[in-house]
Amino acid sequence: MKIDKKKFKEEIIQKLKMRFGKTLENASKREIFDATCYATMMYIGDNWVETRETYEKSNVKQAYYLSAEYLMGRALGNNLVNLLIQEDVAAVLKDIGFDYNEIEDTEFDAGLGNGGLGRLAACFLDSLATLELPGHGYGIRYRYGMFEQKIINGYQVEYPDRWLRFGDPWSIRCDDDAVDVHFGGHVEIIPDEKGRSHFNMVDSEVIRATPYDTPVVGFGVKTVNTLRLWDANSPEDFDLQLFNDGQYLKAVEKANIAKDISRVLYPNDHTEPGKRLRLRQQYFFVSASLQDLIRKYKKRHGDDFTKFSDEIAIQMNDTHPVVAVPELMRLLMDVQGMEWDEAWGIMNKTCAFTNHTIMIEALEKWDVTLFCNLLPRIYQIIEEINRRLTDKLRKKYPNDYARHQRMAIIGNGVINMAALAIEGGHKVNGVAALHTDILKQDTLKDWFELYPEKFCNKTNGVTQRRWLLKSNPELAKLINEKIGGEWITDMSKLKKLEEFADDKDFRKKFWDIKLDSKKRLAEYIKRNNGIIVDPESIFDVQVKRLHEYKRQLLNVMHIMYLYNKIKANPKIDIHPRTFIFSAKAASGYRRAKLIIKLINSVAEKINNDPAVNGKLKVVFLANYRVSLAEMIFPASDVSEQISTAGKEASGTGNMKFMMNGALTLGTMDGANIEIVEEAGQDNAFIFGLLAEEVAKLNDNGYNPWEIYNANAELHKVIDQLVDGTYNPREGHEIFRELYDYLMNGVDGNRADQYYVLKDFAEYVKAQEKIDKNFRDKDSWIKKAIINVARSGRFSSDRTILEYAKEIWNIKKTPVK
């Protein structure tokens, strides 16, 4: 696309005047940003309308992604890149006296996601639009995101993420499409003259769901799909009578209760009110989305639902939206008047489920009492689904009562949402080859034996347009010079880059770009953390959600080990290393937050010890988010992917590191296995237990004290958790829980449940190998280039094409 620069400039000037009453001379950078976005929307708008009309006129099948989160990041740069007008807009801004990068930096990351689940959803939407596939997203428009993380005295402190403080120029409020969602009350059963029962909700709480539509722009095509996010409010938002009676808080109570639903992503669910709010969030966006889909369908076909599953595919992204199974049944039966079998046939052909976890304890379950009180009609439908499943199991597996109990949707006072998803949907997919195998052989073994045809694998991917073209423009430019730009929409073409791995001139240019990226990150670290790091040092990076199984604790214990080595021998030959962490811990996850405190305490100790003499630096970058990740990935040398084998479903950060030339240090877990298959064993650093070895230890038992007593260096590191070496101001016991977690077990769990001690020695050896390899700069650069060249398999374009063909049955539909 080409833009008329003069017209674009006029649009900016007009928007400044109309929206802010400003001119170019007195406008702020944020106001220039808003005006630029609105001017850009003028170029998006026509294609957006044309896309909708194309889909409606042709009655093509469309896919709808139901996800509790979308980690979208900043939109301006991404949209301009996909529209092919970034350079033109930068030139316009320069002409009016503003720097494009400074304007882009005024945008807040959209607070709609947390980790890999949300970033995956965002990548999928990008791929759907770029591949000209009719696919859209549904979710919640969280006012305050998850939280803004600040580090105070080494501790994570959560603040509201006010990403909407200046509004959102990319979203359009659609009041005409608002729908009502009902909670609580009771079910009234009314028989008709034919003896058929009709179910009505009585005395229920009504929440108004108002949609905001955001365009999803495809790269270099006219397709603009839609992300529709729901905002919660009350139809009775203000009671004037109560207000006049002096009951001011009571007058707005309903409004506040309603707004709580779309206030915060993943509220702390360690309390009963928190659990209740989580369930309200899930049902709210699912019910609103399904009502919206049915309304659109009826607009085309009236009351004829025979084509519903031929035109609509619903993908449930993990268990959060699985309430879609009974809710679609309710809408088809109670509202549209269908009998059970007809409704079940449509629902089953329409819905599919993506599982994102291996750990049984992480599969979502809801307390029956909580669920029944909040969603009484939905609970009745789940009871019937469970009854019919139980009959099926009794016939297929007579007298196997243990299996019946394991597979029950309702049992032991809880509702098993994964079981509901598998029974209700026509497909179940894992997100990496190992993950899917473990689901079949262990976590969901009973279900695989019952429905083997439902199970399939769809290894995750990420969009190269966000994570290479936009995040690393200089490397993208170098790649284009050598092999052309086909890789932008067909990442398998990066394979051609391998021809230049031995080219000295190319290697120099590649490494100069890497070094420039490291310098930019070093400047950010100095500016935000007050720590000076050496860009020539190894940038060893672990950025991801903070969780025990991801083993940030193993990483920091190795740093403690290196520090002890330096203290014992200040002349020890260690290549300078900068360890970089960034992660958010869930607000109620006490132990994860304590690990953040440990990282920062170790950083404070090491960074201020002159004896270290530049050999080590430790940095924790607060408030991990997409815009920060875009700076981190291009600057990384080592990608830490060190989860306990068999625990990580896939991972997507590992893929972003790979396509930016970082070498993987990891276990054979999740998508690491496939990354090593592509990159080759010589171009990665693999260590630790295999998934089957972890399973044996789980069965046979494991004693960390044996390792503790046999390894004097590890012994010292563990003792330092409680001997006052780190953070002596707050007492020796501050990290006692981490010590007990490793050595004795806490909260009813066995000691060292994620095998930190067991894998420690091999992890140290792998790190020593990195130290040795990095000193041979030519060899290291070649490995980095090979990683980029062989990363094509991990494009979300490939993943989406597999979903489109094998699960959704949607076709490419160009907008002309």
Instruction: Give the three-state DSSP class for 321.
Output: coil
Query: Of 137, 147, 139, nearest to 109 (Cα)?
Result: 147
The pair of three-digit structure tokens given for residue 273, joined into one six-digit string? 């009110």
Task: Give the distance from CA 768 to its chain's centroid.
Answer: 32
d(CA 608, CA 596): 18
Residue 114 CA: distances (Å) to CA of 341, 397, 437, 764: 39, 41, 26, 30
Q: Is 656 a catalytic residue?
A: yes
In angstroms and rounded to an integer, the radius of gyration of the C-alpha atoms of the chain is: 27
Q: Is 545 a catalytic site residue? A: yes
User: Tokens at residue 194, please?
Assistant: 């034919």
Q: What's the start-to-end Cα distance of the chain, in Å?
A: 14
Q: Do residues 436 and 628 lie in contact, with contact meaning Cβ atoms separated by under 8 Å?
A: no
Question: Is there a catalytic annotation at residue 259?
Answer: no
Tell me the C-alpha to C-alpha distance, in Å, between residue 713 and each of 561, 609, 706, 741, 777. Answer: 7, 20, 14, 19, 30
> CB of 407 within 8 A of CB of 423?
no
Extended beta strands in 534-611, E state: 538-543, 577-582
Angle between helices 712-719 and 736-743 (to 10 degrees): 140
Counting Cα atoms < 13 Å in the Cβ hemisphere of 263 gives 15
Count CA atoms closer than 13 A to 465's CA, side-chain side. Answer: 29
Please say if 550 is a catalytic residue.
Answer: yes
DSSP-derived 3-state class of residue 180? strand
Q: Indicate which residue of 550, 577, 782, 793 is catalytic.
A: 550
Nearest alpha-carbon partner for 137 in 297, 285, 356, 291: 285
Both tokens of residue 613? 């003499």
Catalytic residue (choose from 222, 275, 625, 656) = 656
Cα dist from 13 to 29, 90, 501, 581, whole Å: 13, 15, 48, 42
Using an 8 Å Cβ cutoff, are 53 and 94 in contact? no
What are 580's strand-pairing partners?
A: 541, 619
The catalytic residue among 136, 356, 584, 793 is 356
137 phi-psi bin (left φ>0, alpha ψ -120 to 50, beta other): beta
The secondary structure element, H or E, covering residue 148 is strand 148-152
Listed residue (7, 1, 139) closest to 82, CA to CA: 1
**How does 636-664 read in b/e, with b if 16+ C-beta sit within 10 Å?**
bbbbbbbbbbbbbbbbbbbbbbbbbbbbb
Cα 787 off chain centre by: 23
> Which are the contacts of 303, defined by CB distance < 8 A and separation ≥ 6?
336
Residue 101, class by beta-carbon neighbours within 10 Å (0-12 exposed, 13-18 middle, 19+ buried)? exposed
Smallest CA-to-CA distance from 110 within 29, 229, 266, 208 is with 229
Angle, CA of 453, 457 and 461, to the nearest 5°: 155
Q: Please name the amino acid found at residue 678.
A: E
The dihedral through the CA atoms of 326, 332, 335, 339 has a sign that is negative
In terms of Cβ atoms closer than 10 Å to its own Cβ (0-12, 13-18, 19+), residue 556 is: buried
> Which long-range CB contacts under 8 A does 56-60 form with residues at least 24 apart?
56/300, 58/813, 59/300, 59/307, 59/311, 60/134, 60/311, 60/810, 60/811, 60/813
The catalytic site residues sit at 356, 544-545, 550, 652, 656
